[in-house]
Amino acid sequence: MGQSIGTRIEVLGTLTCLGPVHIGGWDTTTEASLTIARDGKGQPFLPGTSIAGALRAYLAGLDLPRGGDPAAVTAALFGSITPNSQDGSPSWIRLDDAHLVADEVAPTVRDGVGIDRVSATAAANFLYTRQVLPAGTRFAFRLVADTPTATAPDYPGGWSTLVRDAVDALVTGLAQARVPIGAGRGRGFGRMGLGEVTIRSADLSDPAGLIAWLTGTAPAVSPPLTEDSSVRGDQPRDGRLRISIAWRPTGPLLVRDSLPGTVVDTLPLTDTAADGTVRLLLPGSSIRGVLRAHAERIVRTLRRQDAPADFNDALRQPPPGVDVLFGSAPAGDRDGRGHPAGHRGDGRGRRGTLAVADCHSIGQVDARQWNDIISISPDPTNPASRGERAERKERNSQREQARSGLHQELANIRQRLPLSVSDHVAIDRWTGGASDHRLFSVLEPSHRTEWEPISIDIDVTQLDRYGAAGIAGSTALALPLLLLVLRDLRDGWLALGFGGSRGRGQIEVTGVTFDGAGLSTPWQALAGQTLDTVLTAPPPQVTAAMTGWADTFEEAGA
């Protein structure tokens, strides 16, 4: 027997990628090991299941304006299944697949590599490629929420108020880009913003309302749906701590592109948006990797423990505090090395609660202009055979002409992207002179390059769930460990990007601010504070957390 429906609310809008987005597909390509989902026309799309899952997870950690248990509210709205039975409840919120607004879009490819904890170099057999949708890609969004006429849940105002408050909260979260969608959220993927929002509502239990809905004449309203709605722009109480780090490079800083240049050997990594603009890119995965490596170094130093020799063990067995902030891999026998499935706790991996967004340069250039720069090459014509020495001289002349053209192109964009070519040569250990065939060049952004602030997001609600699941020891170490890592980043101990051991990647942090609402203790004490304030005059909750951190290692004999 069907359920009776009262009011129906429909939300229409446009979801725009604010950074790279990846929702895994099922096909394979030669350019990437991880592809994106495509619809029947072969175009990228966002499955409704992925959007619904992201919204459900977001609502479960959100404090609605009239209170109520978030878990019970989420189960009532999105449905639930009683374990080991056929009982359950339906979902009153439905999401359509989101298809492209434009005709087509060209996905880009991101490379990923694991860093060995012992050698600090690329880990063997841990290189992968992933297709992502570029920033600016737009999708048509549709959400439908029904108000049942059945018995109301335990929420002030009943079903009608609950559905309206939930829709308000979800629209707000999407509009403010607080609901990541898809994979790779810890490395900054999945940031999407909802715009061009249109909301219409009709009472389907009333004949006039039903006719208005079916004929498309139901009145459209703009958020907020209620006078006290959070859509007005108030910060949602979603239990997420947001950290903004203002910084500037003190020297050359880049992440190396996997593809070599035609005139220079090493190019900086860039990101091409859907509108055809190119900016320098410092990936969230790169920043997150630096923070994770330093966090592991701190804890292992205090515990007087070496990093595991096997890279897979390092991923499965991170130190306490690191496991909940940055995540851990499943303990199953995935690589055939004979590890028992339960050799680490329950054998399941954990999703990290710390996410870092991609960081871009402020300056940008047109994609065509950038392609002209990186595609400059020597004249391919071959001189007539005049001996090896003459041919070498001719090739050097052609290369110098190409270099001259490159410098001219760089001069044209210097005000937007200050780049220069830096030549390097290896020194022969025996003669003390230049090593033969060891000359290489790098296209380097200078210290005058302006960058966006680094944005870090901590899902405190998920941390609390980990604590309730029996790993409270790790969650208690998360806050002190985070503050120590941020302090060392501020003090210049961490280098970002490529070539940190040879002087590149040094930065100067000019400010670190904390923001968030709906946070639990002790995290709530950071909201509205700066890192300098927290470290010089720590709130009592932070002092207690740091004292517990010290006691933990003293009891362990460290």
DSSP state string for 22-54: --B-S---SS-SBPBPB-TTS-BEE-HHHHHHH
In a domain, 270, yes or no: no
Quote the pLDDT of residue 391. Answer: 60
In a domain, 257, yes or no: no
Q: Do 462 and 331 share a structural domain?
A: yes
In a domain, 203, yes or no: yes
CB-count burial class (<10 Å; 0-12, 13-18, 19+) for 421: middle
In a domain, 278, yes or no: no
Cβ-based neighbours of 219, under 8 Å, separated by 6 or more: 200, 201, 202, 212
In a domain, 72, yes or no: yes
| Three-state SS sequence of 507-541 | EEEEEEEEECCCCCCCHHHHCCCEHHHHHHCCCHH
Q: Do 330 and 188 share a structural domain?
A: no
Q: Do 203 and 317 share a structural domain?
A: no
Q: Do 288 and 203 share a structural domain?
A: no
| Three-state SS sequence of 324-350 | HHHEECCCCCCCCCCCCCCCCCCCCCE
Q: Do 293 and 230 share a structural domain?
A: no
Q: Do 308 and 201 share a structural domain?
A: no
Name the amino acid, one letter, at 105: V
The last residue of one of the domains, among 203, 235, 267, is 235
CB-count burial class (<10 Å; 0-12, 13-18, 19+) for 147: buried
Quote the pLDDT of residue 345. Answer: 46
Quote the pLDDT of residue 225. Answer: 45
Q: Do 202 and 90 share a structural domain?
A: yes
Q: Which helix (H) or strand (E) holds 314?
A: helix 311-316
- pTM confidence score: 0.83
Q: Do 460 and 541 share a structural domain?
A: yes
Angle at 64 (CA atoms; ends 82, 219), nearest 5 degrees: 100
Query: 82-108 in b/e burial notation, b at 16+ Cβ within 10 A?
Result: eeeeeeebebbbebbbbebeeeebebb
Alpha helices in 22-140 (DSSP H): 48-60, 70-78
Q: Do 220 and 72 share a structural domain?
A: yes
Q: Do 210 and 110 share a structural domain?
A: yes
In a domain, 369, yes or no: no
Q: Do 457 and 546 share a structural domain?
A: yes
Tokens 């998360």 belong to which residue?
A: 478
Collect the ranges in the chain with pLDDT lower than 70: 1-3, 28, 30, 103, 114-126, 150-152, 222-235, 332-348, 377-403, 405, 407, 437, 553-558
Angle at 471 (CA atoms; ends 469, 474), nearest 5 degrees: 145
In a domain, 251, yes or no: no
pLDDT in tens, 25-62: 777 676 777 888 888 888 889 999 999 999 998 988 88
Provide the residue range defining the domain that includes 469: 241-245+283-359+452-555
Q: Do 141 and 81 share a structural domain?
A: yes
In a domain, 210, yes or no: yes
Quote the pLDDT of residue 381. Answer: 56
Token representation of residue 64: 């609605």
What is the count of structural domains for the chain?
Answer: 2
Quote the pLDDT of residue 377. Answer: 65
The last residue of one of the domains, among 197, 216, 235, is 235
